[in-house]
């Protein structure tokens, strides 16, 4: 029996992930509604760096040239003690073929680019000021209730995609408070400043300040002295190349990557910057490896390619689902 193409997808959240998903699905011919509680893109300081796996997706979406024009490629990173003393670091690959290098661009500017690209598609509708309230589903569709200016509105779709962040209302509607994991009792305050002193003193584009109490991140945000101190599955279903089972495969693969790589790596990165900077290099094997790789181009290339493990090509499961 022929597989039915998607009619409509509702995406909750108009951040970069939601807008990127809307753009890529919209270009496949899927009708998309994006629901966002805010009235406009959130310009508060948040994320700013996108590693090679993310850059690869931005390239597929056809927006990488605009992203690079607005942002910059990171040429290196280092780790320093509180007073600025250099511990170790590594420069970005000099290989011209390394196209998907880490890109730096404040997240609200990235969202603006994606919003501009998505909103010109006739089959993509972005609804600002629409707060997600609830959802329910049957065998044929999902219905989402959203509130706008005191009025309740219903949106019907084949699928709903929750892209509404760490405090996701969609996840809470599905799983209540069953969110396994660990919350760090640490607060990170992100501020944007203009200062030319970092460059004058030879600081890298990205540096981590290691200290038990006063740890920090200083990241260049543009070329003018601004610094920060602080889809495949649905496309396959729509095109008749995959069945609903691919969503279970997606769930399995992404959870596997999160539990085996993302969670332990991000936790280790945090622990790394809250130790004693004066002894960090002699005690931390990762910093030792970075120091070694900084002198060996082949090892440096391997280090940067380690991030490739965060990706999962779901198209290879099309015929199995």
- pLDDT tens for 185-205 read 777 767 766 767 677 777 778
Summarize pLDDT for 148-166 with one digit per residue, the tens: 999 999 999 999 999 988 7
Output the pLDDT for position 1: 42
CA 93 – CA 90 distance, rounded (Å): 9
- Write out the two tokens for 181: 């994991």
In contact, 103 and 68? CB cutoff 8 Å: yes
Summarize pLDDT for 286-304 with one digit per residue, the tens: 999 889 888 888 888 777 7
Domain ranges within the chain, ordered by starting residue: 1-48+106-178, 75-99+187-321
Query: Rounded mean pLDDT of 162-177?
Result: 85
Predicted confidence band of residue 232 (pLDDT cuts 50, 70, 90): low
User: How many percent of the chain have pLDDT more than 90?
Assistant: 33
- What are the Cα distances from residue 82, in Å, to 184, 190, 213, 216? 22, 17, 10, 9
In contact, 88 and 208? CB cutoff 8 Å: no
Q: Is 130 a residue whose pLDDT tops 60?
A: yes
Q: Is 143 a residue whose pLDDT tops 90?
A: yes
In contact, 155 and 146? CB cutoff 8 Å: yes
Average pLDDT, whole number, for the chain? 83
- CB count in 10 Å sphere of residue 213: 6
Q: What's the CATH superfamily of 1-48+106-178?
A: FAD/NAD(P)-binding domain (3.50.50.60)
Handedness of CA 236, 238, 243, 248 (dihedral sign): positive
Predicted confidence band of residue 83 (pLDDT cuts 50, 70, 90): confident
In contact, 217 and 229? CB cutoff 8 Å: yes
Output the pLDDT for position 72: 83
């Amino acid at each position: 029996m022929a597989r039915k193409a998607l009619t409509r997808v509702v995406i909750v959240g108009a951040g970069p992930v939601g807008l990127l998903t809307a753009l890529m699905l919209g270009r496949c011919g899927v009708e998309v509604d994006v629901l966002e509680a805010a009235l406009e893109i959130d310009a508060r300081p948040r994320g700013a760096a996108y590693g090679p796996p993310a850059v690869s997706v931005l390239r597929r979406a056809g927006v990488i040239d605009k992203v690079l024009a607005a942002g910059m490629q990171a040429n290196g990173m280092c780790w320093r003690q509180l007073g600025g003393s250099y511990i170790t670091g590594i420069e970005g690959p000099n290989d011209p073929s390394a196209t998907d290098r880490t890109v730096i661009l404040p997240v609200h500017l990235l969202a603006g680019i994606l919003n501009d690209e998505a909103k010109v598609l006739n089959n993509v509708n972005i609804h600002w000021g629409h707060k997600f309230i609830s959802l329910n589903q049957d065998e044929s569709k999902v219905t989402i209730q959203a509130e706008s200016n005191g009025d309740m509105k219903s949106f019907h779709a084949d699928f709903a995609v929750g892209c509404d962040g760490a405090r996701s209302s969609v996840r809470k509607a599905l799983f209540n408070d069953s969110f396994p994991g660990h919350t760090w009792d640490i607060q990170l305050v992100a501020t944007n400043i203009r200062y030319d002193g970092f460059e004058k003193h030879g600081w890298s584009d990205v540096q981590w300040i290691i200290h038990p109490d006063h740890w920090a991140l200083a990241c260049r945000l543009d070329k003018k002295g601004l610094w920060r101190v602080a889809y495949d599955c649905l496309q396959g279903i729509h095109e008749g190349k995959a069945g609903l089972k691919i969503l279970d495969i997606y769930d399995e693969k992404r959870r596997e990557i999160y539990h085996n790589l993302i969670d332990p790596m991000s936790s280790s990165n945090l622990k790394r910057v809250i130790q004693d900077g004066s002894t960090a290099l002699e005690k931390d094997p990762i910093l030792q490896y970075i120091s070694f790789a900084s002198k060996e181009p082949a090892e440096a290339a391997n280090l940067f390619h380690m991030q490739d493990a965060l990706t999962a090509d779901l198209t290879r499961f099309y015929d199995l689902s």
